[in-house]
Chains A and B, each alone.
Chain A
């Protein structure tokens, strides 16, 4: 219900803007939506899939590498003392500045674009998982070890569920950035992806209604990831929302 109200307000505001501005750069949603739904099953759909695939691949890679590394850093103080300062410096650098370097080193393939998004998400998750693992009470670890748990069971029954909420929160926050960066990275050196569609295929040739269809698709991508992650959060983090006494 709230989603419907939100959509209604969104399109209402858009329609209002279109009426007020009244120029070809601001087409009405009435023009754009039919184009969007038709081209979603054609060209635009492929661009959307290409972008979604890149984000998914980068996310999967980032999560599966950052979680174990973060757990290691969080639990082994010596490791964190060695690598902590390095992470502290690299973490806040906007990773997109590495784009040219990545292009040269990894070539102008999908790999370089995926790697760039991977970097963004990797560091976000690495830092929160490390802090989460470091914050686990030693009493908890000891008592689970006393039940017979070795390294593998500790990972399965303690570290993984302990860091899951933080991983999901970090993902929810960083996927938006990742999609924004992807938009920039896709504007050159590729022929598929929403960034390419919006800038090269439509904007530069003044096909504004189609450009807006592309923007809608990009929005859909962002909202889609957000909704999925929020759903996972509600499912796995139920204990965070119960009322304490």
Chain B
């Protein structure tokens, strides 16, 4: 089991509970979407999994270990503003490695395994810059990039560290439709060839259906039990206009409406 939430509760101070006695199990290699109305705690759940927030009750385990702080092999990609404005694309993509070398393999900030050599790291960064189609932009600063290019840089930075769990918070929602589909296809292709477990938060029903093999629907009230929709039309480019895809989108729309 990659992610285990048992009896998990969470509330921001002075606000009603977002989660109470919440259970969730994500198996290794699965691709999930999380969807729900704004304010339902989607992003909060992602931050909890990332170890950036801590549950007020119950437990969160990732890869069999309780999580108390950000875990070195979990990758997190946010919607925007995650890049260092003073660093070039390449320096930004290298940031994860820089931090690992800064600490050494201490098992807390970086994986216990011996740190990758400089050459291996550089090769890995090159590989991902190329894979994401931004190798010609390596010396540009984030302010010189389009939103899509910035998001590709953020993805390269995260994927270069070979995470086993990838958490994404609306990574594509600020992008133009064409670029968004490109990146979704890229991520699906990558998911297929690697054994990466990924969890994507989105407010767009189509994206949730396109990316998530399993879809967690959250409600605007306190979430006590997970509403999970299995999805066997996920990850098929070109299927967006097929009846099965549209039916599932409609089903989700109703479910979200009912939970609000």
Known A147-B161, A148-B96, A158-B84: A142·B52 in contact at CB below 8 Å: yes
Is B237 an interface position by the 8 A CB rule? Answer: no
Query: Which residue on chain B has the smallest CB distance to residue A237?
Result: B86
User: Size range of the interface on A?
Assistant: 20 to 34
Q: For the complex, give the distance between the alpha carbons of A115 and B259 in Å.
A: 64
Q: Is the interface of A mostly helix, strand, loop or mixed?
A: helix
Q: Which residues does chain B contribute within 8 Å of A162, judged by CB atoms?
A: 86
Q: Nearest-CB distance from A152 to chain B (Å)?
A: 8
| B102: interface (CB < 8 Å) | yes
Q: Counting CB contacts under 8 A, is A100 at the interface?
A: no
Residues of the B chain whose Cβ atoms lie less than 8 Å from the Cβ of A143: 76-78, 82, 154
CA distance A242 to B112 in the complex (A): 39
Do A244 and B144 contact each other (CB < 8 Å), given the known contacts A140-B82, A142-B76, A143-B154?
Answer: yes
Q: Which of A137, A149, A157, A243 contacts B144 (CB 8 A)?
A: A243
**Per-residue A-contact encoding for B76-97, CB less than 8 Å = 1, 0 else:** 1111111111110000000110
> Pick the contact of A146 from B74, B85, B146 — CB < 8 Å?
B74
Contact check, B52 vs A146: say whether CB atoms are below 8 A apart.
Answer: yes
| Bound Cα distance from A156 to B109, whole angstroms | 14
Residue of B nearest to A149 (CB): B99
Output the least CB separation between A101 and chain B (Å). Answer: 41
A157 and B75 form a contact (CB under 8 A) = no
A224 touches B (CB below 8 Å): no
Please determine whether A142 and B47 come into contact, CB atoms closer than 8 angstroms.
yes
Q: Is B224 an interface residue (CB 8 A)?
A: no
The answer on a CB contact under 8 Å between B86 and A161 is yes
Measured between beta carbons, the chain B residues less than 8 angstroms from A161 are 84, 86-87
Residue of B79, B81, B99, B141 touching A147 (CB-CB under 8 A): B99
| Contact indicator B103/A148 (Cβ below 8 Å) | yes
Asked if A145 and B86 sit within 8 Å, CB to CB, the answer is: no
B191 on interface, CB distance cutoff 8 Å = no
Query: Could you say which residues of chain A place their CB within 8 Å of the CB of B81?
Result: 137, 139-140
Binding site for B on A (CB under 8 A): 137, 139-140, 142-150, 152-153, 156-158, 161-162, 165, 236-237, 239, 242-245
CB<8 Å pairs between A and B, sample of 19: A140-B81, A140-B82, A142-B76, A145-B70, A146-B52, A147-B158, A148-B72, A148-B100, A149-B109, A153-B99, A236-B86, A237-B86, A239-B85, A239-B86, A239-B87, A242-B140, A242-B143, A243-B144, A245-B143
In the complex, besides A139-B80, A146-B70, A146-B76, 19 extra interface pairs with C-beta distance below 8 angstroms are: A140-B82, A140-B84, A142-B50, A143-B154, A145-B52, A145-B70, A147-B96, A147-B158, A148-B99, A148-B103, A149-B99, A153-B109, A157-B98, A157-B99, A239-B85, A239-B87, A239-B143, A242-B141, A245-B143
